[in-house]
Amino acid sequence: MTSSQVRGQQVPMESVYPITIPSDYTYIKTNFIYLFFSNIAYTAFYLVLGIGFFQLIGSHSVHGRKNLRSLKKQEFISVANHCHILDTVLVGLAVLPRRPWYASMQRNFEAPYFRKMFRILRGFPIPDGVFGLRKILKHVVQAVNQGKIVHFFPEEELWHLHQEIDYFQKGAFYLAHHANCPVVPIVHLFRPRTFFGRKISDNILTIKTLIGEPIYPRVPKEGRNSIDRESVQEMCDNAQNWMKIKVSSASSHFPQNTFYQES
């Protein structure tokens, strides 16, 4: 599959219902009613798609869970390549039984149908504009300090089945410094599933999810001290380079026509 074919599979989220996010918006909801219905929806969603589709119809395996043992009762921020329209499900399966919160661009909460689904499944918007990250900072840091997992897609844009690692936004790593917590990198690797040597479908995949070792801030934030930008960049580079190595290693084991990658 060529690069243009892969990128042609991007699913745009049309902003049909433009929203203005108020200053008192609750990004990470923790009230009983929300959590009650969210847990029901989350469980059903993951049973149907996570087990029913990805594991039974497809073939999904998770490797590297040992890297989460030291974080069993600890908070962290996770990051992954944004490569499948349902990659939030893959992330959720990787960190089970814990349930992360998912940061997503504001326009995804302005799209028909998807906007309500994102919200009930523990999603929250990153407001548009140069101060979007600053608006969620307090909420993310508070959630992390309460022992929650918050997930980001640093590539920002979703390219369905695209296996090259694109430019990383540094927001997740900046927030990790504020929260003095590690970032756990996750990468999803795809190749079409075959039957007697023939590809079944572009969407019936053999999927391998790899969990990397936690990456800690080299210069943790202390009190009101400012964030060390070099430490943020180093953290970002380490996560991105680890993903690139894993993608490159996987692609070298399969012929180009059986692995989704750049041509």
Single-letter amino acid code for the residue at 44: A
pLDDT along the chain (263 residues), means of 10: 46 66 92 94 87 81 94 93 90 93 90 86 91 93 94 90 90 95 96 76 84 92 80 96 92 51 35
Tell me how far CA of residue 75 lies from CA of 3, 46, 144, 194, in angstroms. 37, 22, 5, 39
175 strand-pairing partners: none
Ordered domains of the chain (ranges, CATH):
28-253 (3.40.1130.10)
User: SS3 of 126, please?
Assistant: strand
Tell me how far CA of residue 124 lies from CA of 65, 101, 255, in angstroms. 26, 8, 39
CA dist 14 and 223 (Å) reads: 41
pLDDT in tens, 159-168: 888 888 999 9
pLDDT in tens, 103-117: 998 988 888 778 888
Single-letter amino acid code for the residue at 217: P
- State the pLDDT at residue 169: 94
Greatest Cα pair distance in the chain: 61
CA dist 46 and 90 (Å) reads: 9
DSSP secondary structure letter of residue 95: T
Element holding 77 (H helix, E strand): strand 76-80
